[in-house]
């Protein structure tokens, strides 16, 4: 394994997240119009298929901490990539809704395993004081994946099979890169490792509030991720290739989420959460009101991308701070909540579109976003972060062991130093 610096690990992690999140998961909405036309699928069926990768993501995320304990960061990331290769290849050859659903289900497993694997690797290579910031940068990799998917729509309009086949090739390259750069953390636990705080001592009130807000945000955002491209094509009359510009705007603005989330986490999370949810609701309302105006549609995508990536980054770092002694679990809870919200929201949006049309369905979800934003004062506030006592902290496999040693306060447990005490000889 070639060692990576903290910055290098953040960039490399963002690249793997770009493949597993951006291409294997969120790029699906970008190709809904041509897929729907070729396979003759209804909006309701698209909604059901759009929920499948979110369900498989939940299942994979639930077992991901156990997988990283037994397989290590390197092999868990490789397993994630292999599911991505298989799922993307299956989508590229899909001939009906069943085959398409199987492909996106496999892609959801890829997504669910990747972030926990990278988090495990982060423990071995990154200083504790940088964990939140590095996680935020990696999370912004979703935007990079969305940006990568855009040229295939702009220059290969309707060639979604070729696009997904090229995504499968990129996923295969990611598997090789994970084998080359990620550490394979041992399963052996040091004999003097202190257990994490008992379950009863966890900040359950804050964890529940975090999970509820993450769930509701995922529920609201599902409308944009799955149906925004189809809305501008069906309701606005724009050509399918124009949806590429929509997703390009989402990806570019989403890169700013790494900065906004970090600032919000260190200043006033509830106020920033309220602001970003209002922006998310505004993006839905603006797109529904002006789907035939390319400039306004692109502006709504910019607003949505910044709001969504900032919120997911904020949830990620809040989870890490709430569970400092359970680093493999901290990022999992909010991500599971967001995905559960998207899994339940996707078919709901499809049903509302069938019953009321795109404009009314998006307006309903925008109203819900405003309501949740008003409740943001209940979002977990500032969480004290531990102080970094040592300026130069070792990294590597031994450091991974050391970082897992936690005392009752959730701080690193110092390795005991054995002192050889010499007993003076008794005087005659």
Positions of the chain with pLDDT lower than 50, given as ranges: 186-193, 385-407, 410, 412, 415-428
Neighbours of 45 (CB within 10 A): 17
Tell me the CB-side half-sphere exposure of residue 316, using CA atoms within 13 A.
Answer: 25
Separation CA 200–CA 70 (nearest Å) = 26
pTM over 0.95: no
- Asked whether the beta carbons of 393 and 399 are under 8 A apart, the reply is yes
DSSP3 helix / strand / coil % (the chain, rounded to 5): 75, 0, 25
CA-based max dimension of the chain: 105
Q: Does domain 6-186+197-382 have CATH number 1.25.40.10?
A: no
**Which pLDDT belongs to residue 398?**
41
Q: Which H or E run includes 258?
A: helix 257-266
Phi/psi region, residue 344 (left: phi>0; alpha: psi -120 to 50; beta: rest), is: alpha
Separation CA 83–CA 78 (nearest Å) = 9
Neighbours of 222 (CB within 10 A): 28
**Which pLDDT belongs to residue 383?**
57
- Asked whether the beta carbons of 246 and 27 are under 8 A apart, the reply is no
**Which pLDDT belongs to residue 37?**
85
- Asked whether the beta carbons of 51 and 344 are under 8 A apart, the reply is yes
Reduced to 3 states, what is the DSSP secondary structure of residue 406?
A: strand
| Residues 259-292: tens digit of each pLDDT | 776 676 667 889 889 999 999 999 999 999 988 8
**Which pLDDT belongs to residue 155?**
72
**Which pLDDT belongs to residue 328?**
57
**Which pLDDT belongs to residue 196?**
58
Domain ranges of the chain: 6-186+197-382
Separation CA 239–CA 371 (nearest Å) = 34
**Which pLDDT belongs to residue 281?**
96
Token code pair at residue 111:
């997504």
**Which pLDDT belongs to residue 387?**
38
Nearest to 87 by CA among 103, 100, 111, 110: 103
Cα dist. 143→146, 162, 253 in Å?
5, 21, 8
Please provide the DSSP assignment of 54-78 as one string: HHHHHHHHHHHHHHHHHHHHHHHHH
Token code pair at residue 143:
């935007």
């Amino acid at each position: 394994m070639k060692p990576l610096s903290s910055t290098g690990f953040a960039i490399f992690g963002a690249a793997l997240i770009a493949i597993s999140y951006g291409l294997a998961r969120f790029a699906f909405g970008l190709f809904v119009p041509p897929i729907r036309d070729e396979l003759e699928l209804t909006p309701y069926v698209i909604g059901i298929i759009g929920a499948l990768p979110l369900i498989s993501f939940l299942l994979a995320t639930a077992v991901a901490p156990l997988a990283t304990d037994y397989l290590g960061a390197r092999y868990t990331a490789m397993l994630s990539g292999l599911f991505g290769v298989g799922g993307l290849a299956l989508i590229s050859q899909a001939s009906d809704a069943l085959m398409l659903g199987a492909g996106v289900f496999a892609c959801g497993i890829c997504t669910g395993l990747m972030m926990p694997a990278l988090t495990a690797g982060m423990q071995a290579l990154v200083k504790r004081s940088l964990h939140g910031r590095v996680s935020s940068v990696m999370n912004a990799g979703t935007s990079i994946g969305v940006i990568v998917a855009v040229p295939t729509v702009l220059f290969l309009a309707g060639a979604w099979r070729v696009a997904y086949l090229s995504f499968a090739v990129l996923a295969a390259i990611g598997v090789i890169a994970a084998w080359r750069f990620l550490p394979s953390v041992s399963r052996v636990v040091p004999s003097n490792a202190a257990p994490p705080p008992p379950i009863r001592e966890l900040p359950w009130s804050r964890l529940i509030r975090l999970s509820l807000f993450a769930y509701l945000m995922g529920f609201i955002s599902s409308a944009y991720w799955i149906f925004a491209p189809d809305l501008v094509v069906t309701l606005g009359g724009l050509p399918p290739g124009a949806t590429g510009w929509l997703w390009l705007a989402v990806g570019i603005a989403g890169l700013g989420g790494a900065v906004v989330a970090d600032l919000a986490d260190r200043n006033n999370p509830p106020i920033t959460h309220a602001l970003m949810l209002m922006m998310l609701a505004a993006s839905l309302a603006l797109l529904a009101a002006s789907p035939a105006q390319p400039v306004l549609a692109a502006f709504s995508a910019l607003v949505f991308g910044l709001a969504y990536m900032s919120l997911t980054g904020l949830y990620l770092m809040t989870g890490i701070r709430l569970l400092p002694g359970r680093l493999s679990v901290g990022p999992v809870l909010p991500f599971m909540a967001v995905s559960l919200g998207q899994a339940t929201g996707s078919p709901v949006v499809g049903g509302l579109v069938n019953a009321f049309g795109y404009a009314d369905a998006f307006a309903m979800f925008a109203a819900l976003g405003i309501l949740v934003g008003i409740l943001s004062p209940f979002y977990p506030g500032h969480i004290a972060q531990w102080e970094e006592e040592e300026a130069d902290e070792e990294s590597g496999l031994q450091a991974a062991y050391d970082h897992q040693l936690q005392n009752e306060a959730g701080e690193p447990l110092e390795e005991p130093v054995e002192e050889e005490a010499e007993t003076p000889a008794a005087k005659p």
